[in-house]
Amino acid sequence: MNTLRLIFLLLVLASGVALRAEPASDHTPIHLQADIVYKTTAAGELHLDLFYPATELVGAYPLVVYTHGGGWAAGSKNIAQGRSNIARTVRGLTEAGFCVAAVQYRLCKNGKTSIRDCVTDAMDAVRYLAKQGETLHLDASRVFTYGDSAGGQLAQMLLLTRPDDFPGAAELAEQRFTMLAGVSWYGPCDFEKTELFNHDGRANFRDRFGPRVLKSGTPPADKLRLYREVSPVNYLRKDSPPLLMIQGDKDTTIPVHHAYYMQEQAKACAAPVELLIVKNAGHNWRVVDAPIEPTLDDIIQRTVDFLVGELKRERAL
């Protein structure tokens, strides 16, 4: 039976047809190409890791770009390895025939780096992958995004902006790619509406992430423009690529208000945004009061299935 299943998988992957992945185990084989330098900044080199399916594909792989969480001030692309929920999702995606790129970006520390810089780095990572597509066996016309928390905001930005927005490294400026769909796990959609971060309506609420939107010494007159510039909700349009937002209803870090507001604004312009609200879930799918519903396995499966479904839809056109 296992031999027959392997033969079937080889035939399907060779034909370029994506499958509905089974829940990935910790032992699912993948090919990892780690610490590829995609650009160099004044702060040093920035790297990305590529996770390829264990079975080689004839042609180029559809690409999922993963951006990690950590409040734009912490975290690492390395969470895509090992036994984390992210790593399990990455394995599920590779089982479905995707190559996954886990991206390092500059972190907002000491007032010298802003969220805009994080967006620019993530954009440059995609531009680099498009430029090196032939060498790395990647299809720049079939790109998807996935991220959690701060990385969820970055995933939304990558999905909804244009390839020439947020210019960075000059040598990557002319690269083009096509985004097909994205998934955001508990990522914020709007920094201007600070009340979206106020989970319980408290009167003494503090704008926690504002200092990461603005660099030290930013003129007050520039504040509103910069808040709007890195708010994914402002890039919604009728022809936006489909976005799935998965959000816990007990999240106090990035409250569920963000998901509902994104859906509301999407409906206003007929943009394709779907929500999956996870009951009893705090940030990072922390259990609050009762088991989360749907389960973590189901959340991972829904993430993979959504991207697989959009890939199939594109192939059917």
pLDDT at residue 232, as a whole number: 99
Q: Which amino acid is at 262?
A: M
pLDDT, one tens digit per residue, over 15-25 is 333 333 444 44
Q: Strands 61-67 and 179-185: what pairing?
A: unpaired
Q: Is the pLDDT of residue 80 over 90?
A: yes
Cis peptide before 163 (omega within 30 of 0): no
Burial of 225 (0-12, 13-18, 19+ CB in 10 A): exposed
Q: How confident is the model at residue 56 (pLDDT cuts 50, 70, 90)?
A: confident
Q: What CA–CA distance (Å, rounded) separates 209 from 111?
A: 12
Instruction: Compare 191 and 316 and report the one with higher pLDDT.
Output: 191
Rounded average pLDDT over 111-121: 97
Domains of the chain, residue spans: 24-316
pLDDT, one tens digit per residue, over 261-273 is 999 999 999 999 9
pLDDT at residue 30, as a whole number: 81
pLDDT at residue 39, as a whole number: 98
Instruction: Compare 100 and 207 and report the one with higher pLDDT.
Output: 100
Q: What CA–CA distance (Å, rounded) separates 273 from 247?
A: 13
Instruction: Compare 171 and 82 and report the one with higher pLDDT.
Output: 171
pLDDT at residue 250, as a whole number: 98
Q: How confident is the model at residue 6 (pLDDT cuts 50, 70, 90)?
A: very low
CA end-to-end span of the chain: 34
Report the residue count for the chain: 317
Q: How confident is the model at residue 135 (pLDDT cuts 50, 70, 90)?
A: very high
Helix 115-131 with 150-160: angle, nearest 10 deg: 50
Q: Is the pLDDT of residue 124 over 60?
A: yes
Answer CATH for 24-316 from 3.90.480.20, 3.40.50.1820, 1.10.630.10, 1.10.10.410: 3.40.50.1820
Q: Which of 166, 312, 173 is nearest to 242 (CA)?
A: 312
pLDDT at residue 29, as a whole number: 60
Q: How confident is the model at residue 28 (pLDDT cuts 50, 70, 90)?
A: low
Rounded average pLDDT over 294-315: 97
Q: The tokens of 100 are what? A: 């996954």
pLDDT, one tens digit per residue, over 220-257 is 999 999 999 999 999 999 999 999 999 999 999 999 99
Calculate the average pLDDT of the chain.
Answer: 91
pLDDT at residue 59, as a whole number: 85
Confidence (pTM): 0.90
Partners of residue 179 on adjacent β-strands: 143
- The residues, ordered by sequence, that sit 6+ positions from 168 with a Cβ below 8 Å of its Cβ are 39, 120, 121, 123, 124, 127
Q: What CA–CA distance (Å, rounded) separates 136 from 138?
A: 6
- The residues, ordered by sequence, that sit 6+ positions from 55 with a Cβ below 8 Å of its Cβ are 9, 10, 13
